[in-house]
């Protein structure tokens, strides 16, 4: 799970703790990206082929949503190029605002109940018993990390990880930035907050990750 920070002082304190643990008194490079307001999923690929997908659930076990995830157009069923023998990637399924508006317009025209917000609509779509219903919902996904990785050399930084995911055809958020220090992270947050209404999806914050795999 993520540590939360709601003020600049808490972010600066986070950076201080990171630098103390890494033994770096000067500055630490971070990757920053929007925190999408969607549903976390874990996808497992075997020899480059999508084999299993699950929601995060309670952090230890989640719901099997393999059949429904296969209907999401932005999820590759087969990775491009040479992939590890076993690979687990983590991402966020969400509903773009334009698709959410179209979905509610169609529901209103049919006299059906409207969806409250894009996150609830995305979660409901992913948990449908009928994958044909999921396929008609405008879902999308961005990937941001990896867990299990067997068969090839793992990237040594988070930036390299994201570049490799993209090379395999797994979408990563184009708003992701590599930032030289925590002050630039705070600038990124303010700039993104100023553009929040222009983004094509809902967010509920920003995620900062140390630019070394599995450090967060």
Residues belonging to the active site: 35
Which stretches of the chain are DSSP H helices? 8-22, 66-69, 97-109, 118-126, 131-136, 158-167, 182-194
From 155, 139, 160, 170, select the one nearest 43 (Cα to Cα): 170
What's the rounded Cα separation, in Å, for the pair 145 and 55? 15
- For the record, the structure tokens of 141 come out as 């996904």
Adjacent-strand bridge partners of 140: 94
Burial 16-42 (b: 16+ CB within 10 A, else e): eebbeeeeeeeebbbbbbbbbbbbbbb
Alpha-carbon dihedral of residues 102, 91, 65, 112, nearest 10 degrees? Answer: -20
What's the rounded Cα separation, in Å, for the pair 214 and 65? 25
């Amino acid at each position: 799970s993520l540590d939360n920070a709601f003020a600049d002082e808490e972010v600066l304190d986070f950076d201080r703790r990171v630098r103390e643990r890494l033994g770096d008194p000067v500055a630490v490079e971070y990757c920053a990206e929007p925190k999408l307001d969607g549903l976390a999923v874990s996808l497992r690929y075997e020899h480059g082929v999508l084999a299993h997908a699950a929601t995060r659930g309670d952090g230890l076990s989640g719901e099997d949503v393999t059949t429904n995830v296969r209907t999401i157009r932005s999820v590759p069923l087969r990775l491009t190029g040479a992939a590890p023998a076993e690979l687990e990637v983590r991402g966020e399924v969400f509903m773009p605002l334009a698709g959410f508006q179209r979905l509610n317009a169609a529901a209103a025209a049919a006299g059906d109940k409207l969806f409250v917000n894009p996150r609830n609509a995305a979660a409901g779509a992913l948990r449908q018993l009928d994958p044909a219903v999921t396929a008609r919902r405008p879902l999308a996904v961005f990937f941001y990390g990896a867990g299990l990785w067997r068969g090839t050399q793992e990237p040594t930084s988070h930036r390299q990880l994201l570049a490799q995911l993209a090379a395999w055809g797994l979408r990563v958020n184009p708003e992701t930035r590599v930032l030289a220090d925590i002050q630039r992270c705070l600038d990124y947050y303010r700039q993104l907050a100023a553009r929040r209404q222009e983004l094509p999806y809902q967010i509920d914050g920003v995620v900062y990750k140390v630019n070394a795999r599995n450090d967060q």
